[in-house]
């Protein structure tokens, strides 16, 4: 049986329903197959009966089933890596920042989280001049001037690099989540060769909007939905999702470093790779790989210069 590849192939799905799905951000058969019944009904206005039939047909015909480990290995061969420009940092990350994954970098202010975000947006274009980076800025920290400096350091045309970066300012958690949901539509509509999505910072608005223990459960549920959508995006579009995260001090930590990332266990479990950044001696920075599915823990030192990162 041939697989369904377009909405026109779905029985009983007319032009009006297709338009509703596309307006709600469901632009592919796979995007409908992985959606829940409640999501389709709520966002499109399609009846529950029709939505159930559409979802079931898409799931039956989109190849969503078990595969062999050999096939999984073949899929892993499609993974690309974005270089930081630092040999030691790239080695720590198994060759660079992986596509198809969520990479979280957390640390205090001035630990170079945003510098790395800018650098990745440039370096994803180094091996592929058509590559696109999408940048969601929640803290007002995006600086095109810094992009130009890094582009010159990488030997690229600064103007072309800037043209290949899409930027949006997120004003609250709902806006941030909406922008993330619009990325699939943006990629499909403009046929973009997207390689990287940056969210800087992932948790800033969540911290400011949900204050006190009484709102913690609601905040974590909302953050979980956001991260689930980002994980699905990373997998479906083979993107590297780079998120920066704020930190807090654990008052119960009497020995060692009391710095902990915001977001708790939800963010820890949803992130594929976790990197702790901190300030080192004489203006240097330290990157510690805290968690990775296939890499050993490690730690490296580097300097952030005008043109990029330099190993120590």
The three-class DSSP label of residue 143 is coil
Residue 39 is predicted with a pLDDT of 85
Supply the pLDDT for residue 124.
97
269 Cβ partners below 8 Å, 6+ apart?
none
Could you give the 3-state DSSP secondary structure of residue 309? Answer: strand
Write out the residue limits of the CATH 1.10.150.20 domain(s) in the chain. Answer: 7-60
For 15, the token pair is: 């032009």
Q: Which CATH superfamily is domain 7-60 in?
A: 5' to 3' exonuclease, C-terminal subdomain (1.10.150.20)
Contacts (Cβ under 8 Å, ≥6 apart) of 255: none
- Answer yes or no: are the C-beta atoms of 175 and 168 closer than 8 Å: no
Compute how many other C-beta atoms are within 10 angstroms of the C-beta atom of residue 63: 12
Which candidate, 276, 152, 263, places its Cα nearest to that of 207? 263
What does the alpha-carbon distance between residue 48 and residue 42 come to, in Å, rounded to a whole number? Answer: 9
Buried b (16+ CB within 10 A) or exposed e, 185-215: bbbeeeebebbbbbbbbbbbbbeeebeeeee
Superfamily, domain 75-311: P-loop containing nucleotide triphosphate hydrolases (3.40.50.300)
Q: What is the three-class DSSP state of 229?
A: helix
Residue entry with tokens 């008052």? 251
- Residues linked to residue 291 through DSSP beta bridges, in sequence order: 274
Give pTM, 2 decimals: 0.85
pLDDT of residue 87: 96
Domain(s) of CATH 3.40.50.300: residues in the chain:
75-311
User: What is the C-alpha to C-alpha distance for residues 280 and 302, in angstroms, rounded to an integer?
Assistant: 9
Phi, psi of 52, deg, nearest 5 = -65, -40
Cβ(245)–Cβ(267) under 8 Å?
yes
In whole angstroms, give the CA distance from residue 84 to residue 93.
10
Tens-binned pLDDT, residue by residue, of the chain (312 aa)? 345 567 877 877 788 888 888 888 787 888 888 888 888 888 888 889 888 888 888 888 777 778 899 988 998 999 999 999 999 999 999 999 999 999 999 999 999 999 999 999 999 999 899 999 999 999 999 999 999 999 999 999 999 999 999 999 999 999 999 999 999 999 999 999 999 999 999 999 999 999 988 999 999 999 999 999 999 999 989 999 999 999 987 766 666 677 788 888 899 999 999 999 999 999 999 999 999 999 999 999 999 999 999 998
Is 147 in a helix, a strand, or coil?
helix
Q: Which two tokens stand for residue 211?
A: 């204050």
């Amino acid at each position: 049986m041939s697989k369904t590849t377009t909405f026109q192939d779905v029985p009983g799905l007319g032009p009006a329903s297709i338009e509703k799905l596309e307006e709600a951000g469901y632009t592919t058969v796979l995007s409908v197959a992985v959606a829940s019944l409640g999501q389709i009904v709520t966002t499109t206005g399609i009846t529950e009966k029709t939505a159930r039939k559409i979802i079931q047909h898409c799931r039956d015909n989109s190849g969503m089933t078990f595969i062999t480990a050999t096939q999984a290995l073949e899929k892993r061969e499609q993974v690309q890596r974005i270089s930081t420009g630092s040999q030691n940092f790239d080695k720590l990350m198994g060759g660079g920042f992986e596509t198809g994954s969520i990479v979280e970098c957390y640390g205090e202010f001035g630990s170079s989280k945003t510098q790395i975000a800018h650098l990745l947006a440039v370096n994803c274009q180094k091996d592929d001049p058509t590559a696109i980076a999408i940048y969601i800025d929640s803290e007002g920290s995006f600086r095109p001037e810094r992009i130009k400096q890094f582009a010159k350091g990488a030997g690229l045309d600064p103007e072309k690099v800037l043209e290949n970066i899409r930027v949006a300012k997120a004003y609250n958690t709902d806006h941030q989540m909406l922008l993330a949901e619009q990325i699939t539509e943006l990629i499909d509509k403009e046929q973009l060769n997207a390689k990287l999505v940056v969210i800087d910072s992932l948790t800033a608005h969540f911290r400011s909007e949900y204050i006190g223990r009484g709102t913690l459960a609601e905040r974590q549920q909302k953050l979980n939905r956001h991260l689930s959508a980002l994980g699905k995006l990373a997998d479906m579009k083979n993107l590297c999702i780079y998120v920066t995260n704020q930190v807090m001090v654990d008052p119960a930590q009497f020995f060692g470093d009391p710095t902990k990332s915001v977001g708790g266990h939800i963010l820890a479990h949803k992130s594929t790779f976790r990197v702790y950044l901190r300030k080192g001696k004489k203006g240097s920075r330290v990157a510690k790989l805290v968690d990775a599915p296939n890499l050993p823990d490690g730690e490296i030192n580097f300097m952030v210069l005008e043109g990029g990162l330099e190993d120590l």
